[in-house]
Amino acid sequence: MSRFAAPIAEQIWDMKYRFKDADGTARDATVEDTWLRIARDLARVEKSPEDWEKRFYAALEDFKYLPAGRIIAGAGTARRVTLFNCFVMGTVPDSMAGIFDMLKEAALTMQQGGGIGYDFSTIRPKGADVKGVSADASGPLSFMDVWDAMCRTIMSAGSRRGAMMATMRCDHPDVEDFIAAKSDPARLRMFNMSVLVTDAFMEAVKADGPWELTFGDKVYRTLQARDLWNRIMRATYDYAEPGVIFIDRINAANNLSYCETIAATNPCGEQPLPPYGACLLGSINLARLVSDPFGDDAGLDLDALSDLVATAVRMMDNVVDASKFPLEAQAREAQAKRRIGLGVTGLADALLMTGLRYGSDEAAAQTETWMKQIARAAYLASVELAREKGPFPLFDAEAYLASGTMQSMDEDVRDAIREHGIRNALLTSVAPTGTISLYAGNVSSGIEPVFAYAYTRKVLQKDGSRTEEEVVDYAVQMWRELKGDAPLPDYFVNAQTLAPLDHVKMQAAAQKWVDSSISKTINCPEDISFDAFKDVYMAAWDQGCKGCTTYRPNEVTGSVLSVSDTKSEEKPVLVAEGGEVVYMSEPLDRPSELEGNTYKVKWPDSEHALYITINDIVLNGHRRPFEVFINSKNMEHFAWTVALTRMISAVFRRGGDVSFVVEELKAVFDPRGGAWMKGKYIPSILAAIGGVIEQHMIATGFIAGEGLGLKTDPQARVVGLDAPRGPACPSCGQYDMRMVEGCMTCASCGHSKCG
């Protein structure tokens, strides 16, 4: 009998975590083989590996403890991959040589499967003097473009593309450009972005006081703090980025504040880390630990929880010794502090099984109680490891116990640490668990509410056909099994109906007993007012959160598709997730005459220029691109320019919003190197062509400005959508990408930008 609670769970395991040879031959015949592979690999550093192998296997069995995806996929495979999910890289020097040394380190880290975080506040602002070369600095955002291009070319180990986090301090002179960067949908697509907000800034915002933008000892500009705060809020209201990280609060609470300063996080924000710090993640599946679910005696088995936490801490500590690292500096940092990030998943399901409404005061109090139980068990387990194997090398008892987090810890735990030390400097974190939650039977993700009780998923079969299957939330499926067709109780809520401030309440309740941070998305309705939206962030600050990430569906960010019964046999159709129908219009007829323009592109180091002719058609008073011709005397370009001419022209003649062509072309990166053109880095000749097409579209009024795309189109023929269509999944093509825990995740195949 299969251990998998749902077909999607087995499919995720087979696609992402099952050990296979390069030719696709499975080495893990069953999921039990996967558990055994992990348990054996992590037990090999023990003095009695056979005994610990059995205990580790028992923790993994039935998805009770879920190591992070890198561990599930890589442990015991003998492949040269890191078992750590993400890293914060070294401090970026304010020099050209140092910057590109950092780029090399980033590429090596991503090549092994690690996501990375960087603080770009250390690079001098745009326009600052560069001594010795009689030039002005291009600023941190120009170098972020280079990082973004590099990331697109690196396929991480397994099937995950690298994810990146960029941070910038709220007092950096270029912070306004940083805030606005994602207004261009083609720019910095591989980055999550967050502003490092200080306590002083928040005090100035509340007092409506002035705020200085500085670098070094120079004040570049003074503005009102509230105006800058409103810029941050408006950008994330419109584009879902940047997020906000309360950096002073993070450093004040850090157990290691006596020996490190944090200025960046991993890509989803749950692990604030010092230079070369690494995040080692795993989650306790609370949904599997509820006894008598939906019954009169429903509750979490606290003894089983504590035992499971202790085993998980030992497993994670062993990963520090078992894992490979892309860089020696990362290995040294991990060994010196042995930080781990044990979190939870299935919280919302566990609350439902015990009769509590996610977001209620009672659910927040229960969450705080459970998280404290986990924290106590984790710290005491780490003390026992210190007695057996020694504390982490940089342990200083008095300095450690004086940190912000440890001051609120129970006295018996503090006494144990004072007497015996502690093996792991930090122990708790709530990571994104979108994919491993599907693998565990579609339990609710992390500390998020249930996203949807059930949805229909299209599955691609080997013969190319697609079949439909229902994907049901774990708690809902259990309700059906126990209660039959009885309606769901009123306390069942999901992310679509939950008030934003209830999200904040739950995040704040969990944060009290999490020594690192939490990856969480606060879902906001599309029609939330700007003032109410700002209140969400201020509530996060007031209630003690370490950061805040929101998602408001709109025309830019995309939204979940609604189901439509519209059907037609008259035109070819594209059926998207959930039965939605999008009509593909017939090609537009070509008039005998068209108006157009020809542009010359001279690519550096190329002998011949490209000539790009763009002809337009006028429909209902609107001018729109109809065809493209790309010509060059360089015969090496002949085949691809003809192919590009035909493909782009075919797309244009279909009508609708064709501005995506620009986005796709501008994102093409040439591994041989790009070029600087008119003061801007262009990653490839194809990106240069995309830029020409974009400027033509702007000049003719087809799009409003660079990177903005077409917002309304009288010729678009889209039926059956009550909201704008979200982005297609780059893995399976389904329109079911959802913002979960700060990361776009596909509910159909489990693909996640952040792994």
**Sign of the CA dihedral running 684, 727, 183, 171:** negative
Distance from C-alpha of 755 to C-alpha of 745, rounded to nearest angstrom: 9
Asked if 101 and 282 touch (Cβ cutoff 8 Å), the reply is: no
pLDDT over 70 (residue 294): yes
Distance from C-alpha of 139 to C-alpha of 124, rounded to nearest angstrom: 6
Choose between 493 and 152: higher pLDDT: 493
Tens digit of each residue's pLDDT (9 = 90 or more) over 74-96:
999 988 888 988 899 999 999 99
Choose the weakest-confidence range: 5-9, 85-89, 156-160, 262-266: 156-160
Report pLDDT for 573. Answer: 34
Q: What percent of the chain has pLDDT over 90?
A: 62
Tens digit of each residue's pLDDT (9 = 90 or more) over 329-354:
999 999 999 999 999 999 999 999 99
pLDDT over 70 (residue 712): no
Q: What is the mean pLDDT of residues 648-677?
A: 81
Query: Using CB atoms within 10 A of its CB, is residue 717 exposed (0-12), middle (13-18) or buried (19+)?
Result: middle
Last residue of some domain: 265, 295, 322?
265
Smallest CA-to-CA distance from 28 within 83, 75, 80 is with 75
Q: Domain for residue 502, yes or no?
A: no
Q: Map tokens 């780059």 to a residue.
A: 730
Q: Domain for residue 580, yes or no?
A: no
CA distances to 94, 124, 220, 228, 700 from 127, in Å: 14, 9, 11, 20, 32
Structure tokens at 171: 């007092």
Strands in 646-742 per DSSP E: 675-677, 680-682, 737-740
Asked if 248 and 255 touch (Cβ cutoff 8 Å), the reply is: no
Asked if 224 and 376 touch (Cβ cutoff 8 Å), the reply is: no
CA distances to 8, 131, 197, 673 from 676, in Å: 46, 21, 33, 10
Tens digit of each residue's pLDDT (9 = 90 or more) over 1-29:
689 988 889 989 998 999 998 888 999 99
Structure tokens at 710: 């077409």
Choose the weakest-confidence range: 351-355, 448-452, 575-579: 575-579
Q: Domain for residue 575, yes or no?
A: no
Distance from C-alpha of 731 to C-alpha of 558, rounded to nearest angstrom: 18
Report pLDDT for 745. Answer: 75
Label residue 580 by pLDDT band (50, 70, 90): very low
Choose between 232 and 590: higher pLDDT: 232
Choose the weakest-confidence range: 362-376, 572-586, 634-648: 572-586
Distance from C-alpha of 193 to C-alpha of 196, rounded to nearest angstrom: 10
E strand or H helix that includes residue 641? helix 638-652
Choose the weakest-confidence range: 107-121, 142-156, 213-227, 705-719: 705-719
Q: Domain for residue 377, yes or no?
A: no
Give backbone dihedrals phi and psi of 395, rounded to 5 degrees, phi first.
-65, 130
Q: Which residues of 488-507 are buried (b: 16+ CB within 10 A; e: fewer)?
A: eeebbbbbeebbbbbbbbbb
Report pLDDT for 676. Answer: 80
Tens digit of each residue's pLDDT (9 = 90 or more) over 731-744:
555 666 777 766 77
Label residue 709 by pLDDT band (50, 70, 90): low
Q: What percent of the chain has pLDDT over 70?
A: 86
Report pLDDT for 569. Answer: 35
Alpha carbon of residue 510 to chain centroid? 20
Report pLDDT for 720. Answer: 29
Last residue of some domain: 699, 730, 749?
699
Report pLDDT for 410. Answer: 97
Q: What is the mean pLDDT of residues 624-628?
A: 89
pLDDT over 50 (residue 141): yes
Q: Domain for residue 300, yes or no?
A: no
Distance from C-alpha of 380 to C-alpha of 583, rounded to nearest angstrom: 60
Report pLDDT for 85. Answer: 81
Q: What is the mean pLDDT of residues 429-456?
A: 92
Give backbone dihedrals phi and psi of 11, rounded to 5 degrees, phi first.
-65, -40
User: What Rg value do the Cα atoms of the chain yield, rounded?
Assistant: 27
pLDDT over 80 (residue 383): yes
Q: What is the mean pLDDT of residues 201-209?
A: 98
What number of residues does the chain have? 755
Q: Map tokens 């609370």 to a residue.
A: 286
Number of domains in the chain: 2
Partnered with residue 129 across adjacent β-strands are 136
Domain holding 678, by residue range, is 595-699
Is residue 322 helix, strand or coil? helix
Last residue of some domain: 206, 231, 265?
265
Smallest CA-to-CA distance from 435 within 38, 21, 727, 11 is with 11
Alpha carbon of residue 71 to chain centroid? 18
E strand or H helix that includes residue 200? helix 199-207
Choose the weakest-confidence range: 211-220, 416-425, 630-639: 630-639
E strand or H helix that includes residue 119? strand 115-119
Helices (H), 326-433: 328-337, 347-353, 361-389, 397-401, 404-407, 411-420
For the chain, helix, strand, coil in percent to 5 are 40, 20, 40
User: What is the average pLDDT value for the chain, to the nearest integer?
Assistant: 87
pLDDT over 90 (residue 595): no
Report pLDDT for 729. Answer: 66
Choose between 580 and 161: higher pLDDT: 161
pLDDT over 70 (residue 528): yes
Choose the weakest-confidence range: 207-216, 313-322, 618-627: 618-627
Label residue 460 by pLDDT band (50, 70, 90): low
Q: Domain for residue 632, yes or no?
A: yes
Report pLDDT for 722. Answer: 36
Report pLDDT for 717. Answer: 32
pLDDT over 90 (residue 463): no
Structure tokens at 466: 């697609």
Give backbone dihedrals phi and psi of 752, rounded to 5 degrees, phi first.
-140, 135
Q: Domain for residue 581, yes or no?
A: no
pLDDT over 70 (residue 159): no
Report pLDDT for 319. Answer: 96
Positions annotated as catalytic residues are: 266, 268, 270
Alpha carbon of residue 505 to chain centroid? 22
Q: What is the mean pLDDT of residues 420-436?
A: 95
Report pLDDT for 716. Answer: 34
Task: Provide the CB-side half-sphere exposure for 118 (13 A, CA).
Answer: 27
pLDDT over 60 (residue 575): no
Label residue 378 by pLDDT band (50, 70, 90): very high
Asked if 438 and 750 touch (Cβ cutoff 8 Å), the reply is: yes
E strand or H helix that includes residue 176? helix 175-180
Q: What is the mean pLDDT of residues 186-201?
A: 93
Report pLDDT for 664. Answer: 85
Count H helices, E strands: the chain? 24, 31
Angle, CA of 125, 130 and 136, to the nearest 5°: 60
Choose the weakest-confidence range: 163-177, 495-509, 588-602: 588-602
Is residue 162 helix, strand or coil? coil
Q: Which residues of 136-150 are buried (b: 16+ CB within 10 A; e: fewer)?
A: ebbbbbbbbbbbbbb
* DSSP tag of 324: B
Label residue 261 by pLDDT band (50, 70, 90): very high
Partnered with residue 400 across adjacent β-strands are none
pLDDT over 90 (residue 586): no
pLDDT over 60 (residue 705): yes
Partnered with residue 459 across adjacent β-strands are 467
Choose between 138 and 742: higher pLDDT: 138
Report pLDDT for 677. Answer: 80
Q: What is the mean pLDDT of residues 258-281?
A: 94
Q: Long-range contacts of range 251-255, CB-CB < 8 Å, 24 or more positions apart? A: 252/404, 253/403, 253/404, 253/405, 253/515, 253/546, 254/403, 254/404, 254/405, 254/426, 255/400, 255/403, 255/405, 255/406, 255/425, 255/426, 255/515
Asked if 359 and 493 touch (Cβ cutoff 8 Å), the reply is: yes
Angle, CA of 360, 434 and 307, to the nearest 5°: 70
> The domain spanning residue 251 has which CATH number?
3.20.70.20
Choose between 62 and 556: higher pLDDT: 62
Is residue 194 helix, strand or coil? strand
Report pLDDT for 59. Answer: 98
Q: What is the mean pLDDT of residues 591-600?
A: 87
Partnered with residue 300 across adjacent β-strands are 290
pTM of the model: 0.79
Smallest CA-to-CA distance from 636 within 605, 592, 667 is with 605
pLDDT over 90 (residue 264): yes
Q: Domain for residue 611, yes or no?
A: yes
